Structure 1
Amino acid sequence: MLENYSPETQSALKKLGADVGQRIAVQKGEERWEGLLMPKSAGDSNCIVLKLDSGYNVGVAFDNSVKIEKLKEATHTAGKKKKPKPKFDSNKPTIVIL
């Protein structure tokens, strides 16, 4: 899911084993951002997009001075969530829906 990132950015992320949805830290100079790696849909392909804990997205221009650190495995999955199966209670009466 890193296909819209530049080849240089993809290479750096793959070297760490980082993929979309994983928590990473990006440091550029004195600034450091931590968040979930987001898929790239538009804009500069040489920019790493993170979803911060505050809910905001931030893009960091990737170059040789950028340090990336993988913090956690992915905890979010893209797509639909599984719906919980309803619990059956045999003590309740049967109903018909018309």
Structure 2
Amino acid sequence: MATVTVTKQFKEDFDLWAANALECGEFTKEDMSEFKEMLRNDFKPGSDQLREGYKAITAAGVTVPAAIDNYEDRIKVWSSFFAAAANNLRNVRKLNLKVAA
């Protein structure tokens, strides 16, 4: 099975999110290890095993399968999630610095 490589930006965003999740107690070290393993599996080519059998509702109210069978699209979804989370954390840190000044 081929190894999937993520971008440097993905790694930076993920690492910031993960450090915060551990620091805030949202995840234990064991939880984070399990989460990383789940991501590795989700990033593998092939059908979507994580979302298989689940449904999602679109903005128009239509129920559709939640599975994302293209692994590159799954990576894009996770990349967007971690980018948004990391940007929120960066913004909060900037605000905290301004308030402290």
Fold shared, TM-score > 0.5 on shorter chain? no
The structure where helix makes up a greater share of residues is: 2
The structure where strand makes up a greater share of residues is: 1
**Structure showing greater Rg:** 1
Q: TM-score, normalised by structure 2?
A: 0.23
